[in-house]
Amino acid sequence: MLKLLILIIFPLNLLIANDYILQRQDSMQKFNKLMRSANQMIKNSEINEDLSQIYTDIENIMTEYPTLFPDDSFKGKTKASEDIIANRDKFNEISLETAEIARLASLASLNNDIELLQQSHQNLFSTCKSCHSRFKN
Ligand code: HEC
């Protein structure tokens, strides 16, 4: 009976871990696409509520992001560095900072504050490298 349970639970664990991996990769692909859309809109001077909503979507993605890295989700098809486990504070801090920058960009779009918008949009792009260089293999 115990053996049977282990046989069932072990693959289930792997499946759940794999689900986190797929979710966080999906989040990143969305983040990437949203940034491209924002780029395009800024280029076309479409500073409006839709642009603001794009940054709100990014804010929401990055607020949830740190919850997608449980300790047992670093095996298999993931590029996430195990450094995340040992440095959760730093990882959470970068995620939170990114969410805050996105919130600023969202407000800037609503207020038609072009200078703040461009600054925060640039800062959002800088977060990719600062997080990847440290926490992505
Ligand atoms: C807080 C940390 C963090 C930030 C900020 C961040 N990333 Fe990532 N990114 C990761 C990690 C960790 C992975 C690896 C996830 C995995 O494979 O499990 C990743 C993976 C990716 C992937 C590959 C997804 C896939 O399908 O495997 C893309 C694309 C990506 N990031 C784009 C971006 C872009 C563009 C930005 C900035 C605009 C960004 N990321 C900002 C941590 C971050």
* Whole-number pLDDT of residue 5: 73
- CA–CA distance from 59 to each of 10, 77, 83 (Å)? 35, 26, 24
Distance CA 61, CA 45 (A): 25
Tokens of 57: 């979507």
Closest to 29 in 3D by CA, of 65, 5, 1 = 65
pTM score of the predicted model:
0.93
Task: Return the best residue to mutate from 77, 123, 132, 133 for the ligand 1 pocket (most ligand atoms within 8 A of CB).
Answer: 132
Instruction: Please work out whether the CB of residue 126 comes within 6 Å of at least one atom of ligand 1.
Output: no
Helix axes 49-64, 2-43, angle to 10 degrees: 150
pLDDT at 61: 98
Q: Kindly report, residue by residue over 41-55, the tens digit of the pLDDT.
A: 999 999 999 999 999
Closest CA to 121 of 47, 29, 66: 47
Q: Give the pLDDT of residue 3.
A: 78
pLDDT of residue 23: 97
What does the pLDDT read at residue 62? 98
The pLDDT of residue 113: 97
Q: Which residue's CA lies nearest to atom 12 of ligand 1?
A: 80
What pLDDT sits at residue 72? Answer: 94
What's the pLDDT score for residue 41? 98
DSSP state letters, 9-57: HHHHHHHHHHHHHHHHHHHHHHHHHHHHHHHHHHHTT--SHHHHHHHHH
Q: What are the residue ranges in the chain where pLDDT is below 50? A: none
Closest CA to 122 of 58, 62, 39, 41: 39
Q: Ligand 1 centre and the CA of 128: distance in Å?
A: 7
